[in-house]
Amino acid sequence: MQKQFIIIGGILAGLGVIFGAFGAHALKDILINYNRTDTFDTAVKYHFYHAFGLLIIGILSNQFPDKNFNAAGYLILTGVIIFSGSLYILCLTNMKWLGAITPIGGLLMIMGWSFVVWKMVQK
């Protein structure tokens, strides 16, 4: 799994650059119109943080093979999709109910990092 998390982390990082540039340029008027510039920035920021996190998990799982790292990687990936994804869609559509979904993604990311800490404390 370590290779897959490194690949997925790299893809997520690349997408973070694309989404960030897209938001700053192509979506600028929409984001300003909906007053969602800060929300979009938060989505991109967390997207990036966790892309790098998946790269780290891939490296750690190579050094310390354990199913907890796989679980951590999947939780973080799912968390990014739900957290950042719901914010991206919210920014583009202004469907405010999507804000209720965002914390689920945050909780999944917290759980993923908890798995990483748990595994490293055991070593």
pLDDT tens-digit profile of 11-53?
999 999 999 999 989 998 999 999 999 999 999 999 999 999 9
Contact between 51 and 17 under an 8 Å Cβ cutoff? The reply is no
Number of domains forming the structure of the chain? 1
Mean pLDDT of the chain: 93
CA distance readout (Å), 39 to 68, 89, 91:
31, 11, 7
Residue 16, domain extent: 2-122
Of 47, 40, 41, give the one whose Cα is nearest residue 16: 47
Q: Give 68's pLDDT tier (boundaries 50, 70, 90).
A: confident
Contact between 83 and 109 under an 8 Å Cβ cutoff? The reply is yes
For 45-60, the pLDDT digits (tens) are 999 999 999 999 999 9
